[in-house]
Structure formats: C-alpha cells, structure tokens
C-alpha cells in the first residue's frame, strides 16, 4: 500500500512526487512512456519555478534568453532586452522531464515507466489502480496525466471546464544564429501565434491556435515561418498536440484524489504556458496530500482553494486579455505589444516577475478604448 500513486511523470507529476517523497511519504509514479520521452512543447519556462524546489535546475536548462522579438504578420517588429532579475529558461522537454523525475527518485519516489494506469477503483478506503503489471494500491492518487490523459474522467471529473486549443511543434536540430532572440509572431494566425524558441542545440518552431478554428493549413503556415529562419520544415521532427486551456475555476479534488497540471486544465489561456502552473499544482497537491495523510481535515478541499486563489485569479485576467487581444489582433498588437513599455511587460510576465492582475487592467483599459 503506497501513501500516494502519481499518474504521469510530466512536470506536474514529478513535482508532486518530489515533494511527497521529500516529506517521507511512500510514492509510486506511473508513467506510460519511457523517459527520456519527447513532449511537443516550446520549452519556455519561467525562472520563478526555482523557488518551489531546493535543487539546481541548471543541468535541465538548454539555454536562457533575455532578448524578445515580437512581429505582426511577420513584420512591424519590436525587440526588447528584458530587464528582469532572471532570464527566461528554455528547456528540451525530454531532458527537463527526465531530470525532474530523477530528482523525485533521488528523494525515494519509485518510478514504474512503460506502465500505464488503465482503470481505477475505490475500495476499502484506498484506490486500486489497474496496470498491465497488475493492480497497485494507494491511499491517495494524483492524476497528472496531461492534456491527453483520461484519469480525471476515471475519477469522476466528467465535465471539466476548459477550452481546447492545439499546437504544432517542429524540433529543428540546427541551432539558429547565436543572437537569435525568443521570437513570437501575432496576426499570421488569427487567434494564435507562431514562435521560434532558441535552444543550445537547435530551435523549437511552432504554431499555436488558442481560440476558434483556423481556415489556413497550419503546417503550411509553419513551413513559411520556418523558411524565414532558413529552417526547412521537412527536415524537422514535427508533432501536433492538444492544449487544455484554463476556462474557469472548478473542483480539483475528490475522494482521496487530486488532479494536477494540464489534467486540471490550468494552462494559461493567453500564452499557452503550462509548465509553470503544472509544477505549481504539483507542489500544492503534494502539500495537500501530505497534510491529509497527517490527518488534516479538509486538506484536499484546500488544494482546490489554493489553486483558485494563486492560479485561477491570474488565469481569469489572462482569459480576458486573450479574448480581447485575439478578437482584433492588429489592435491588440498595436496597443498590447508595440505600445512603449508593453514589450518589457510581456517579458516580465513570461519571466514571472509581473502578474496579469498588475498589467491586465491597464491593457484592457487601452484595448477597450477606455470602456473597461
Ligand atoms: C506544442 C506545444 C508547445 C508548448 N509550449 C509551451 C512552452 O513553451 N512553455 C510552457 O510553459 N508550456 C508549453 N506548453 C504546454 C506544456 O507543454 C504542458 O502544459 C505541460 O507539459 C503540462 O504538464 P503536465 O505534467 O500536466 O503533463 P505532461 O507534460 O503532458 O505529462 C503527462 C504525462 O502523463 C503520462 N500519462 C498519460 N496518461 C497516462 C496513464 N494512463 N498512465 C501513466 N502515465 C500516463 C504521459 O505519458 C506524460 O508523460 C506547450 C504545449 C504544446 C502542445
């Protein structure tokens, strides 16, 4: 009987397992794939996450950037050198995720890789998880199985609140020029953006659609964008993946179980940033389960409350900003990105040194022509 089984060894699952194991709890992580495993992702990570862990992330960081370049339909550029305390981290997910799960293992968490959770049953005051290797038992569960996961549904979260988005990532093995900034293009894709994130040993190019349908063939759009960086898309590993955007607060706890990370629909609806909120929900889930194991009343309810308080409040502003920005991206770009001071604020937001609540009211006021 484990204290906790964590399903999924992405950032959310590893963060939860790390902190539970560190508290002396017995933790089993089930991961259906084998690490290192590829996850389509730009790999932009706010350095803010470092404060939630007591180890050094350096081995998992491919490179860092301070220079940000924004464009609209490929033109009208604006560049900024972020004056943040820390630069933005850029990671390769196969490295980052394998590093995190190794940190959890070093604290005593056990990993069963290549072992999927197939079904669940609550019996005799504990959870039984059926796997290809037989049933496993735990007093508590964390579902951290990501955007494509099904464990939340198995736990009874039938109607989670989220907005489904999607993105295509092209992993290019050739590094860009040494001074390549982090590039974001708005407008080419009406309700989304294109990106090129530099890595030490390559580049991550991609296209994300955050709202509504796209008429244009996204792979062709990405191909054209990549060509602008002298990158041949056909020479890259290209993969599409859904993104589960936050669309409102909801319960994230049930009988002796929590949902965390993208399984809990906590991706930023404006930037599609999911790593930072996944790590944070993993940390909070561990705190709640540790407290519950210690007999704390209403510990799991407090997880839902804390996620709403810390993440939901910010996501609400991000959703408003996203709706306004992508409704009229040309205006959004003009007043939300090009306006003096705005690129610096975008960089600060991504680096975790500014809250949406601090900037959004000002941006919404400008975008709405003073109505809000
Ligand atoms: C193309 C793209 C680009 C993105 N770029 C960024 C970015 O630059 N920055 C950023 O912050 N976010 C980005 N995101 C979002 C980010 O990748 C995710 O939000 C983040 O990975 C979620 O972490 P997680 O731990 O919740 O889930 P995941 O990282 O998806 O991990 C879930 C794990 O659970 C495992 N699993 C699933 N089902 C089972 C099962 N039944 N049993 C056992 N294991 C299971 C999976 O194999 C996986 O390893 C991007 C997303 C996409 C699609």
| CATH code of 131's domain | 3.50.50.60
pLDDT at 357: 85
Spatial CB neighbours of 96, under 8 Å, sequence gap ≥ 6: 11, 43, 45, 60, 61
Confidence of residue 358 (pLDDT cuts 50, 70, 90): confident
What is the number of structural domains in the chain?
1
Indicate whether 168 belongs to any domain. no
DSSP reduced 3-state for 210? coil
Indicate whether 220 belongs to any domain. no
Indicate whether 227 belongs to any domain. no
Query: Model's pTM, two decimal places?
Result: 0.96
What percent of the chain lies above the pLDDT cut of 70? 96
Indicate whether 177 belongs to any domain. no
pLDDT above 80: residue 279: yes
**Using one digit for the tens of pLDDT, what is the confidence trace for 177-206?**
989 999 999 999 988 999 999 999 999 999
Cα angle: 303, vertex 5, 164; to 5 degrees: 60
Task: Yes or no: say if 252 and 12 are a contact pair by the CB < 8 Å rule.
Answer: no
Separation of alpha carbons 184 and 360, rounded Å: 19
Confidence of residue 1 (pLDDT cuts 50, 70, 90): very high
Task: Indicate the top mutation candidate among 43, 48, 145, 271 to test ligand 1's pocket, ranked by most ligand atoms within 8 A of CB.
Answer: 145
> What's the average model confidence in pLDDT over 8-20?
98
Separation of alpha carbons 259 and 279, rounded Å: 12
Indicate whether 360 belongs to any domain. yes
Q: How many CA atoms lie within 13 A of 54 on its CB side?
A: 5
Indicate whether 79 belongs to any domain. yes
If you measure from the C-alpha of residue 263 to the centroid of ligand 1, how many angstroms do you get, rounded to a whole number?
9
pLDDT at 342: 87
Pocket of ligand 1 (CB under 6 A): 7-13, 30-33, 39-45, 116-117, 144-147, 149, 151, 167, 169, 206, 241, 243, 261-263, 267, 272-276, 278
Q: Which atom of ligand 1 is nearest to the CA of 263?
A: 26
Indicate whether 233 belongs to any domain. no
Q: Which atom of ligand 1 is nearest to the CA of 43?
A: 8
Identify the domain containing residue 14 by its residue range.
Answer: 2-162+245-367
User: For ligand 1, atom 33, which residue shows the shortest CA distance?
Assistant: 8
Indicate whether 128 belongs to any domain. yes
């Amino acid at each position: 009987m484990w204290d906790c089984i964590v399903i999924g060894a992405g950032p959310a699952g590893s963060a939860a397992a790390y902190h539970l194991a560190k508290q002396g709890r017995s933790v089993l992580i089930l991961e259906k794939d084998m690490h290192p495993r590829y996850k389509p992702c730009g790999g932009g990570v706010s350095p803010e996450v470092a404060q939630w862990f007591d180890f050094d992330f350096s081995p998992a960081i491919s490179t860092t950037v301070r220079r940000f370049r924004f464009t609209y339909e490929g033109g009208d550029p604006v560049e900024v050198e972020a004056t943040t305390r820390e630069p933005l981290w850029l990671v390769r997910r196969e490295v980052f995720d394998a590093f995190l799960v190794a940190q959890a293992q070093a604290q005593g968490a056990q990993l069963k890789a290549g072992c999927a959770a197939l079904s669940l049953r609550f019996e005799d005051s504990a959870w039984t998880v059926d796997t290809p290797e037989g049933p496993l038992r735990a007093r508590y569960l964390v579902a951290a199985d990501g955007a494509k996961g099904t464990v939340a549904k198995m736990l009874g979260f039938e109607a989670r609140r989220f907005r489904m988005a999607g993105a295509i990532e092209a992993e290019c093995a050739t590094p860009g020029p040494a001074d390549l900034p982090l590039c974001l293009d708005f407008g080419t894709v009406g309700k989304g953006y294109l990106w090129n994130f530099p890595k030490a040993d390559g580049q991550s190019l991609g296209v994300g659609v955050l709202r509504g349908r796209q008429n244009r063939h996204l792979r062709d759009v990405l191909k054209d964008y990549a060509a602008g960086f002298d990158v041949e898309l056909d020479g890259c590993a290209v993969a599409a993946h859904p993104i589960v955007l936050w669309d409102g607060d909801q319960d994230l706890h049930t009988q002796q179980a929590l949902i965390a990370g993208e399984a809990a629909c906590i991706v930023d609806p404006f930037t599609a940033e999911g790593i930072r909120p996944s790590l944070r929900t993993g940390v909070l889930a561990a705190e709640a389960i540790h407290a519950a194991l210690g007999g704390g009343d209403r510990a799991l309810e407090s997880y839902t409350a804390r996620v709403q308080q810390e993440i939901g409040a910010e996501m609400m502003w991000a959703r408003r900003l996203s709706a306004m920005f992508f409704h009229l991206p040309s205006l959004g770009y003009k007043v939300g990105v090009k306006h003096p001071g705005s690129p610096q604020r975008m960089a600060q937001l991504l680096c975790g040194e500014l809250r949406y609540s601090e900037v959004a009211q000002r941006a919404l006021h400008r975008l709405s022509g003073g109505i809000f």
